[in-house]
A = this chain, B = another copy of it.
C-alpha cells in the first residue's frame, strides 16, 4: 500500500492509446512525431518509437538533452528557441549527438541560432530549422505569408530548412477540433506555398494537437505532433477527443474529509496542476464518480461535489482523479507508478521533470 496522492499509469490503456494514434497516422500517410513534454518519460517515448514514431518532439533544449542522453537521435524542438548565453553552447553540443530540428518564427531568431551552432564548429553539418506559423492560436509563430522570409534568412545564415510547422492550440475548445484542423491546413499550405514560390524546398509540413489530430488534413500535412493522446486527461474527455475509459493516468487519492454531498480528497493542485480553462466543468474529474465535479482545488485538497442522492464515499476511500491537463500533472511528479489490470508492475522516472530551460 502506497501513501496517497501518487500518479498511476495504466500500461494497457497507454499501449492502446499509442497503437490507436500510430494507426491513425499510418492511415493518413503522415509521420508521427509525438510531443514528449506530455510524459517526460524515456519509457513511454521508447514505446512510441516501437509503435512507429519517426522521432520525438520536445519543447526545450533541456528536454532534448535528456532524451538525447537516453539514445533518442531525432529531435524536433518545436519552439522559437532564443539561442543566447549557455543555451547556445548547449544547442551546439546537442546538435553533435542527435539530428536536431529547431523552431523559429523571426529573422533575428534564426540569426541567433546560426551564430550559436556556427561559433565553434566550422565545417559541421548545418542545424535544421522549421518555420513556425500562426494558424489561429495567436501564440508564437509568424504570419504564414512571412514564412519564406524567415526560411530565406536561415539559408543565408547557413542553416538548413526542413519546412514549416504550427500548433493549432485553438483546438482546445468544445467542438473546436475540426475548425482548428482546417485553419492548421490552410496556414501550413500558405506557408509551404510561400517557401516553394521562393525556391525553398519544404519537405516537412508539421502540425497537430490531440483534439485536432482526428481531422488532420492528409493532403497538406506530412507530420503529426500530438502529445496528450498517450495518456489522456479530463480535458480530452470533456472535449470529446477520447472517452473516460481511455484515460491512462490518474492520481490515486484518499477521502480525508466529508460532509453532506461533498468529499475532500488529498489530490490538490500540487499533484494535479491548477489548469482550469473556462470550458471545463471543474478542476479535473473523479473516474470513480463520473457525475461528480471538482468544484474547488487547493494545493492539497480537491473538493468533490456529488450529485444529489449520491452518498458521499467514506473517509479513507481511495478515488482515481484524472487531472485536467496531464502535461502539468506529470511535471509535478518524480515518478509514475505503473499498473496493469490494477496490479503494480513497476515505477517509471519522470526523467525530464522541470526541464524548462
Whether A331 contacts B270 by the Cβ 8 Å rule is yes
Note all chain B residues with C-beta closer than 8 A to A255: 82
A269: which B residues are within 8 A, CB to CB? 273, 275, 328
Chain A, range 325-357, C-beta contacts under 8 Å to B: 325, 327-328, 331-334, 354, 356-357
Does the CB pair B257–A80 fall under 8 Å? yes
Contact with B along A250-273 (1 / 0, CB 8 A): 000011111000101010011101
How many copies of this chain sit in the oligomeric assembly? 2
**Contact (Cβ within 8 A) B296 A139:** yes
Residues A80-137 near B (CB distance < 8 A): 80-82, 84-87, 90, 105-106, 108-109, 112
Residue from B87, B256, B257, B298 in contact with A169 in the complex, judged by beta carbons closer than 8 Å: B298
Binds B, one of A184-192, A217-225, A237-245, A299-307: A299-307
A276 within 8 A of partner (CB) = yes
A106-B257, A140-B301, A257-B106 known; A3-B87 Cβ under 8 A: yes
Q: Does A281 contact B (CB under 8 A)?
A: no
Any B CB within 8 A of the CB of A208: no
**Does A331 lie within 8 Å of B328, measured CB to CB?**
no
Chain B residues closer than 8 Å to A270, beta-carbon distance: 327-328, 331, 354, 356
B139 touches A301 (CB 8 A): yes
Question: A178: CB under 8 A from chain B?
Answer: no
Interface centre among A264, A269, A299 (most CB of B within 10 A): A299
Known: A270-B331, A315-B108. A3 touches B86 (CB 8 A): yes
Contact of A109 (CB < 8 Å), options: B87, B112, B299, B315: B315
> From residue A154, how far is it (CB to closest CB) to chain B in Å?
15
B139 and A316 contacting across the interface, CB-CB below 8 Å: no
Set of chain B residues within 8 Å of A276, measured between Cβ atoms: 274, 276
Told that A60-B300, A140-B301, A271-B356 touch, could you supply 15 new A-B pairs with CB distance under 8 A? A5-B357, A80-B256, A81-B256, A82-B316, A105-B257, A108-B315, A108-B316, A138-B303, A269-B328, A274-B274, A274-B325, A276-B276, A331-B332, A332-B332, A332-B354
